[in-house]
C-alpha cells in the first residue's frame, strides 16, 4: 500500500473510533507497505488512560510479530503523537512516524498535550505532579542484579 492509503486507513479508524464511543484517533503500523496492526483510541471505552491509538497498535504489532522491537516498521497516525505515545514509539524502535493532524489541531478540540511537553523542561520537584526520590539505595539492588545478569535480554 502507498503511504497515503495507510494514512487514510488511520484516519478512517479515527472516524470509526468516534462513532464507537472512543476518541478521535487512529493508528496503523506497516512493514514494507503491508498493515501489521491497527489501533484506535479506547480510553473511555476501556477505562484505560494508556489506550491511545498508537499504544494499542504497538501492542498488537508486537504480539503479531512476536517481538518488542518494531524496527523496519512505520507508524501512520491520524494525529501527532502525545508525549506518552511518542515515548512508546521510540521504545518500540519504529523507523518513521507519519501523522495527519498536529498537536495544535488536537489542542483546539480539547486534547492539549502541550502542558506535558512543558513539564519535561522543569525539575521534578517543580512540576504540577511533584516527585521525590524515595528508597533509592534499596531500589538500586534490582539494577545491580540486572547489570550482573549474563543472560539478560537487552532492549
Q: Which residues are catalytic?
A: 54
CB 30 within 8 A of CB 74: yes
Measured CA to CA, the distance from residue 89 to residue 83 in angstroms comes to 10
The contacts found for 108-113 with CB under 8 angstroms, 24 or more apart, are 109/24, 111/23, 111/79, 111/82, 113/82, 113/83
Measured CA to CA, the distance from residue 43 to residue 111 in angstroms comes to 13
Amino acid at each position: 500500500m502507498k503511504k497515503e492509503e495507510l494514512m487514510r486507513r488511520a484516519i478512517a479508524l479515527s472516524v470509526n473510533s468516534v462513532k464507537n464511543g472512543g476518541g478521535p484517533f487512529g493508528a496503523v503500523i506497516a512493514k514494507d507497505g503491508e498493515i501489521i496492526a491497527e489501533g484506535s483510541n479506547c480510553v473511555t471505552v476501556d477505562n484505560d488512560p494508556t489506550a491511545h491509538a498508537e499504544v494499542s497498535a504497538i501492542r498488537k504489532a508486537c504480539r503479531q510479530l512476536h517481538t518488542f522491537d518494531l524496527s523496519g516498521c512505520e507508524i501512520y497516525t491520524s494525529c501527532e503523537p502525545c508525549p506518552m505515545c511518542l515515548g512508546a514509539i521510540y521504545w518500540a524502535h519504529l523507523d518513521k512516524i507519519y501523522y495527519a493532524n498536529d498537536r495544535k489541531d488536537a489542542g483546539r478540540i480539547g486534547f492539549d498535550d502541550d502542558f506535558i511537553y512543558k513539564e519535561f523542561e522543569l525539575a521534578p520537584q517543580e512540576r504540577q505532579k511533584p516527585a521525590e526520590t524515595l528508597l533509592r539505595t534499596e531500589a538500586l539492588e534490582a539494577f545491580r542484579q540486572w547489570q550482573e545478569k549474563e543472560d539478560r535480554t537487552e532492549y
